[in-house]
Amino acid sequence: MERMSDQRTRMPWGLYTVGGLGGLLFGYDTGIISGAGPIIQNDWRLNAAQLGFITASVLIGSMVGALAIGGLADKFGRKKLFIIAALLFIAGGFFCMFSQNFAEMSIARIVLGFAIGAASSLTPTYLVELADKDHRGSVASMFQLMITIGILVAYFANLLFLNHNIGGLADWRWMLGSELLPAAALMIGSIALPESPRYLIKAGKVELARKILEKRLKRDGTQEIEEIKAVLAKSQGKGTFKELFSVSGKSVLVAILLMFFQQLVGINAVIYFVPKIFQSAFHFSSANSIWISVGIGAVNVISTIVALGIMNRFNRKSLLIFGSIEMAISFIIIIILTLALGVHSMGSAIVTMIFIALFIIGFAVSWGPICWIMISEIFPLKVRGLGTSIGSAANWIGDFIVSQFFTILLVAFHNNIAGPFAIFCAFSILSIFFVKYMVPETRGKSLEEIEENMDEKKKKA
Ligand code: BGC
């Protein structure tokens, strides 16, 4: 008991929190554009496709940013690239705030996307590499927690700036400009953060890695260093894309599918569009629908905090399957009720809200954090940056597909959410089989043990 509490006080949570700041930027932009987008559309008289592109341009930039950063992170380390991502973020945020027309805004948002994509690939790898094996699930969940906090804080920032044209600058410019704050935090944080010890050992700087493990991460790293060295000694090559596919082809497939399923269960349809659906289908005022966003955001943060607490206690696969079942049941009940009660009654609005909250809880304790943790865990150190960047790019592609097709689907189903929700429900059910048959269990094993296991399986196959 004494040892447990001793261990708890020694865990450097402050450092892990700063390490997760990349997630804050990711979430913050998701939340801000949902508030700023419609106002820009009004001010500049954009059509729906142009507004869609302003939202989606970040996703395109993120795919590119995520893919580009992986190889660089394996070559130059995680820390330097965090600094570059923060600089890009500051530049992108600044250009967004002052852009004068649709073309400038789209370019600025693509630059912002580079930074967000880079951060989404770097942060999970970095956190997974900092943690010890017993706490890795919770530590790496900091990324997801930061995403959800970012979304929620952005909703409040939207409320704060809405209709206030401070200093003659339109409210939406302040909303976008406020992204400079988390970007500056990432910049300062990145300078203060230590390099990943695993990267340092790979780069031959073993003594520096030992120092970071002992002084900053507060643990004796002797055994860890030996394990990492042993695994590195066995693996050859320079960590190229070709090697990634030949050494870890299955991991690449698992990472891509994990991320596709994470998006195809429809989380961002709920986050981006549900408040608008309440406005149009249930005749909520726009002020009330903003509070629905805040409610969704708060449930998301609170359940992610719960996830952080339970992540080390349950197998990743069990949590994923639990989440899939919980999400599928929530969808089925919403579908039945909206079909039975009609889309306009207050009763169905309340019930829909309750089951949307349950859907978010199911996602937040499972697919939300775990996919980001696993896309880093399942790759060997030599190609971890590259592998994670492919998983991360898959996440952005999935997000792009859902956000582009959701509104089209909604129209096709005469504005009845039962239609698109049935598709998300089908993906939730399919995901159970994917997890059962394809995803490896990684909890409680060191990254080096996971690497050896994957290697053995490959040799047997
Ligand atoms: C997903 C994001 C999503 C967020 C919501 C993340 O894990 O990748 O697309 O917006 O969770 O909490």
How far apart CA 279 and CA 165 sit, in angstroms, is: 25
How far apart CA 123 and CA 130 sit, in angstroms, is: 11
Q: Which two tokens stand for residue 428?
A: 């939730």
Cβ(360) – ligand 1 distance below 6 Å? no
Whether 402 and 266 have beta carbons less than 8 Å apart is answered as yes
What is the model's pLDDT at position 319?
A: 98
Closest atom, ligand 1, to C-alpha of 259: 8
> How far, in Å, is the centroid of ligand 1 from the Cα of 399?
9
What is the model's pLDDT at position 144?
A: 96
Cβ(144) – ligand 1 distance below 6 Å? yes
- Report which DSSP code applies to 441: P
Whether 311 and 372 have beta carbons less than 8 Å apart is answered as no
**DSSP codes of every residue in 364-426:** HTTHHHHHHHHHHHTS-GGGHHHHHHHHHHHHHHHHHHHHHHHHHHHHHTTT-THHHHHHHHH
How far apart CA 448 and CA 454 sit, in angstroms, is: 10
> How far, in Å, is the centroid of ligand 1 from the Cα of 267?
7
- Taking CA atoms only, the protein residue closest to ligand 1 atom 10 is 268
Closest atom, ligand 1, to C-alpha of 120: 8
Residue type, 62: S
Report how far apart, in Å, the C-alpha atoms of 413 and of each of 11, 231, 272, 359 are.
51, 53, 18, 21
236 Cβ neighbours under 8 A, 6+ residues apart: none
- Residue 202 backbone dihedrals phi, psi, to 5 degrees: -60, -35
Q: Mean pLDDT for each 10-residue chunk of the chain (461 residues)? A: 48 90 93 88 88 86 92 90 95 96 96 94 93 91 96 93 91 95 94 94 94 92 90 76 84 96 95 77 74 90 96 95 98 89 72 92 98 94 90 94 84 85 97 97 90 70 57
What is the model's pLDDT at position 95?
A: 96
| Torsional sign, CA 346, 351, 354, 358 | negative
Cβ(376) – ligand 1 distance below 6 Å? no
Cβ(395) – ligand 1 distance below 6 Å? yes
- Report which DSSP code applies to 77: -
Report how far apart, in Å, the C-alpha atoms of 322 and of each of 291, 318, 336, 360, 367 are.
29, 6, 21, 13, 10
CB atoms within 10 A of CB 233: 8
Closest atom, ligand 1, to C-alpha of 369: 7
Name the residue with tokens 């190889």: 71
Cβ(196) – ligand 1 distance below 6 Å? no
What is the model's pLDDT at position 459?
A: 62
Name the residue with tokens 């190609």: 383
Helix axes 286-310, 367-377, angle to 10 degrees: 50
What is the model's pLDDT at position 3?
A: 44
How far apart CA 268 and CA 400 sit, in angstroms, is: 10
Cβ(304) – ligand 1 distance below 6 Å? no
Whether 261 and 367 have beta carbons less than 8 Å apart is answered as yes
What is the model's pLDDT at position 427?
A: 98
Helix axes 286-310, 346-364, angle to 10 degrees: 30
